């Protein structure tokens, strides 16, 4: 029996990988998703979604991709540390019919191929949606190449749209003077924020319910501790709660506030529990006392000859 069977879960409620079945739509997640969909429907060239590490950007991105209709051909890039030429090759690898022959082409040749592919899509009333996750890692030259790609269009509509998803550093990069032309083309830039205290409670209970244990509930004190310790970041919540399940299973007990604090301490998200501190102090007390006594004895012995000499 493992910890999931011990709690009678039908699935892992706090898996660290993005899982669409466990997507919790907070108010901010929902508003950001609607903003992105609106931008896509309006045919906007550049859309940017920002968020700190672990706030759920990738999972939200996957949810949006599942809802796209047949108007879009998609290209998803998740390792964007690419030169302009590598960027074009990665895009064409997803959409070009003769992708194998592209490696020997120059940058200009790749651009001509991309233009042809976009024209083919446009004749089918489709457009290309380029999605780049972790976009803050894109070199400046590649960001500039994306700006140039956004020029592919007909008299009535753009042939491609670009959705950049990244950490707040992406905004800082775009505010640089050398990328001001790209920033002018950004029509939507929204930020995904961490969960509120109330949303943390709803998030944990939502995931427990999705895993088949809607009867499990954390008390208010535990939920507030989770919110304060994690700052409302879903990835950190999953990390703590995953450790909670393991500790509770190892002790064959239920989930309580003490186990949650211990789990957070074991992940170095807070200081060690008071009991652990007391145990550590008690273990060090006698060795330190012995060292102190030895130092006093050595000091006394070394000072005796000097005292005798003064008397003579």
Q: What is the pLDDT of residue 189?
A: 96
Residues 176 and 204 in one domain: no
Residue 306 domain-assigned (yes or no) = no
* Residue reference for tokens 């170095």: 268
* pTM for the whole structure: 0.82
Q: Which of 197, 122, 192 is nearest to 161 (CA)?
A: 122
Count of structural domains within the chain: 2
| CA distances, 68 to each of 2, 34, 73, 82 (Å) | 38, 13, 9, 26
The per-residue pLDDT for range 152-195, each reduced to its tens digit, is 888 778 899 999 999 999 999 999 999 999 999 999 999 999 99
Q: What is the pLDDT of residue 300?
A: 65
Task: Tell me how far apart the alpha carbons of residues 120 and 125 are, in angstroms, rounded to a whole number.
Answer: 9
Cβ proximity of 146 and 131 under 8 Å: no
Spans in the chain with pLDDT lower than 70: 97-100, 272-292, 295-297, 299-312
| CA distances, 23 to each of 14, 34, 131, 241 (Å) | 11, 15, 20, 16
Residues 12 and 76 in one domain: no
Residues 49 and 116 in one domain: yes
Residues 214 and 162 in one domain: no
Dihedral class, residue 231 (left if φ above 0, else alpha if ψ from -120 to 50, else beta)? left
Residues whose CB is less than 8 angstroms from the CB of residue 282 and which lie 6 or more positions away in sequence, other chains included: none
Residue 179 domain-assigned (yes or no) = yes
Residues 185 and 41 in one domain: yes
Residues 155 and 235 in one domain: no
- Can you give the residue range of the structural domain that contains 74? 27-192
Q: Which of 275, 183, 253 is nearest to 3 (CA)?
A: 253
């Amino acid at each position: 029996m493992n910890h999931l069977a011990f709690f009678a879960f039908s699935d892992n409620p706090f898996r660290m990988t993005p899982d669409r079945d466990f997507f919790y739509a907070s108010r901010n997640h929902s508003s950001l998703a609607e903003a992105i969909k609106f931008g896509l429907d309006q045919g906007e060239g550049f859309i940017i979604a920002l968020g700190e590490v672990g706030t759920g950007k990738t999972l939200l991105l996957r949810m949006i991709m599942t809802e796209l209709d047949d108007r879009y051909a998609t290209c998803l890039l998740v390792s964007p540390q690419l030169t302009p030429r590598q960027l074009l090759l990665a895009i064409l690898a997803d959409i070009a019919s003769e992708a194998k022959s592209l490696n020997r082409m120059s940058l200009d040749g790749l651009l001509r191929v991309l233009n042809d592919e976009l024209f083919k899509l446009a004749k089918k009333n489709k457009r290309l949606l380029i999605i780049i996750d972790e976009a803050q890692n894109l070199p400046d030259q590649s960001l500039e190449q994306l700006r140039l790609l956004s020029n592919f269009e007909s008299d009535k509509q753009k042939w491609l749209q670009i959705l950049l998803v990244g950490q707040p550093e992406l905004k800082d990069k775009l505010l640089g003077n050398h990328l001001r032309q790209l920033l002018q083309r950004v029509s939507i830039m929204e930020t995904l924020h961490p969960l509120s205290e109330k949303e943390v409670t709803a998030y944990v209970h939502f995931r427990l319910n999705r895993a088949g244990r809607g009867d499990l509930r954390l008390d208010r004190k535990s939920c507030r501790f989770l919110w304060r310790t994690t700052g409302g970041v879903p990835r950190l919540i999953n990390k703590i709660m995953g450790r909670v399940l393991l500790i509770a299973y190892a002790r064959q007990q239920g989930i309580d506030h003490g186990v949650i604090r211990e789990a957070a301490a074991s992940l170095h998200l807070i200081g060690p529990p008071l009991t652990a501190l007391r145990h550590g102090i008690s273990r060090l007390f006698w060795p330190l006392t012995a060292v102190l006594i030895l130092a006093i004895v050595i000091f006394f012995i070394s000072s005796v000859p000097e005292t005798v000499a003064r008397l003579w």
